[in-house]
Amino acid sequence: MSVSATDPTIAIVGASGLVGQEALSILASRGFPATRLTLYGSERSAGQRVEYCGITIEIRQLNRITEQPPEYALLCADADTAKCCRSILSGTSTILIDNSSAYRLDESIPLVIPEVNGSLLECRPRFVANPNCSTIMLLTAISPIHEVFGVRSISVTTYQAVSGAGASGLEELHAQTRARIDDQSQEPRIFPVSCAFDVFEHESAIDPATGFNGEECKMIAESRKIWDEPGLRVLPTCVRVPVERAHAQAIMLELSRETSVEDLQEALRGAPGVRLHAGDRPLTPAQIAGTDDVVVGRIRVDPDDARRAILWVCCDQIRKGAALNALQILDRLEDARSGSLALH
């Protein structure tokens, strides 16, 4: 995004949260002008002041957003707030980019990873959904492989940071870790069990019909929608680990044709949004926290079947898994602005 008098006006809804704060940090690093930015939250954060590029911006209560409808509203709050925003901004020309799960599977709403299906933005849709963070990192990493070798099925185990559950998840890990070291107990509030010094299946509700939890169901349905392959075979197991920030995934792919480690590296080298891990240090989530790319390491091919490959992938889920992906969507919508005839 270039910085000029034609910079769009952007509202961040949920500016006090982890994703909202990350979006602000990315905009600040780009030098996006404070005068084009407004911040919103619930009555809990309304009135709080946020430092942005040396200027103080006050968070306003969300119902005030219609006083000055922005060109873009970056929704960094929960699904109910996203629905509320869509309703109150329906009579305006604001384009909404939503980080929540509210509309991801709505047929009429594009679900976009710019590196994968960014062409859906060329018609400048009025509402765009950001996929789940685990889906974003999975498909950003494997779409370049799919293009060359054809992915027939995906098995993936996730190792998800507690900050995926928002600021309160991170606070819970800190509080429980301190308590445990001090030989005290701290009851879980956000997660079903203690998150310090343990791992557990993702806390989202289990679908009794299939046994998959909510996070796993999102990965299956969203991957099928983004690749436009309703029959895509995806088998996820989603797990929480006591990591502050950035997720990891062990991904096993069945391909349509044989491959080699070198061929897979070649497919991934230079792919947008992807970086091949280099060096002797093991690739870890903590190591890549705060960076933009989806990082791929430990590429292996089954010695007994060269159509089966395994990858170890890490990605900052607050950045590329949410705030950065949303801002890349905004960038692409801005790029499309001059060529667009009408909004849809």
Ligand X SMILES: NC(=O)c1ccc[n+]([C@@H]2O[C@H](COP(=O)([O-])OP(=O)(O)OC[C@H]3O[C@@H](n4cnc5c(N)ncnc54)[C@H](OP(=O)(O)O)[C@@H]3O)[C@@H](O)[C@H]2O)c1
Residues that bind ligand X (CB under 6 A): 13-20, 40-42, 44-45, 62, 76-78, 81, 99-100, 133, 163-164, 166-168, 317-318, 321-322
Q: Which is nearer to ligand X, 299 or 322 (CB)?
A: 322
Minimal CB distance to ligand X: which residue?
17
Residue 315 a catalytic site member: no
Neighbours of 106 (CB within 10 A): 12
Q: Which is nearer to ligand X, 168 or 287 (CB)?
A: 168
CA 170 to chain centre: 17
Q: Which of 133, 195, 314, 315 is catalytic?
A: 133
Q: Nearest approach, Cβ of 41 to ligand X (angstroms)?
A: 3
Q: Which is nearer to ligand X, 83 or 152 (CB)?
A: 83
Q: Which is nearer to ligand X, 11 or 268 (CB)?
A: 11
Q: Nearest approach, Cβ of 333 to ligand X (angstroms)?
A: 19
- Burial class of 339 by CB neighbour count within 10 A (0 to 12, 13 to 18, 19+): exposed
Starting at the earlier edge strand, list the strands of the sheet with 308-315: 200-201, 233-240, 151-160, 247-255, 308-315, 294-301, 274-276
Residue 344 a catalytic site member: no
Q: Which of 146, 202, 247, 277 is catalytic?
A: 247
Q: Nearest approach, Cβ of 72 to ligand X (angstroms)?
A: 16
Q: Nearest approach, Cβ of 40 to ligand X (angstroms)?
A: 6
Q: Which residues are marked as active site?
A: 133, 247
